[in-house]
Amino acid sequence: MSSTQQDFFTVIQERHSVKVYDSNATMSEQEITDLLEMAIKAPSSWNLQHWKFLAIHDPAEKEKLLPIAYNQQQVVQASVVIAVLGDLEANKNAEAVFSSDVEAGILTEQVKSGIIDQIEKAYTQPQLARDEAIRNASLAAMQLMLAAKAQGYDTCPMGGYNAARLIDAFSIPSRYLPVMLIAVGKAAKPARQTPRFPVDDIVVWNRF
């Protein structure tokens, strides 16, 4: 891990979406892995960990991604682009997740079986599987961006890309749903400061 670390509230205040990156700044695979290690600490429903990360850092692969992301230059300028994918079949993770709990004495085999039955019944609903994939992968994506800022990197979440072309070009299995792209690197130009509505305008206490 980099020794550059910031106070959590400073990270939140200073994390903005950077559009222009220093194309000479690179990240090693270990540095990328370290950030993803922080991302996967995010919470997930039933602890099924509904995420997969496609880390695109090879210059040729980033060039391939560029037209898929509508020629947004941060794709090729950033050190790495993380395609955050949601797992539509996260129920298949249940056995591994809950077997370790049984081995640790946290759950009985009977309780484990009951939880897995509950999960399998829930996953007969395609909309639930899709919602869970997006929801939980998004939690990991936000954690990744905060971890990156804490380590001195800048990020930009991107929803502007052709998902079908991304799947085809990078051979993404049908199990995984593209949720967003995240450019990660060193800013060459500060992010534009964006206003936020006052909290009083967006909070409703107790009921509408």
Q: Is the pLDDT of residue 6 over 90?
A: no
Q: Which amino acid is at 192?
A: R
| Residue 155 lies inside a defined structural domain of this protein | yes
Q: Is 2 domain-assigned? A: no
Q: Bridge partners of 177?
A: 86
| Count: domains in the chain | 1
**Could you report the per-residue pLDDT of 147-204, keeping only the tens digit for each?**
999 999 999 999 999 999 999 999 999 999 999 999 999 999 999 889 999 999 999 9
Q: Is residue 208 in a domain?
A: no
**Residues 68, 74, 77, 79: is their CA dihedral positive or negative?**
negative
Residue whose pair of structure tokens reads 């997930």 in the numeric block: 44
Residue 52 within a domain: yes
Does 44 map to a domain?
yes
CATH number, domain with residue 183: 3.40.109.10
Q: How far is residue 92 CA from its own chain's centroid?
A: 20
Q: What is the mean pLDDT of residues 115-141?
A: 98
Instruction: Please report whether residue 1 resides in a domain.
Output: no
Q: Can you give the residue range of the structural domain that contains 179?
A: 8-202
pLDDT for 86-107, tens place per residue? 999 999 999 999 999 999 999 9
| pLDDT at residue 3 in the model | 47
Tell me the pLDDT tens digit for each residue of 37-53. Answer: 999 999 999 999 999 99
In a domain, 128, yes or no: yes
Q: Is residue 49 part of a domain?
A: yes
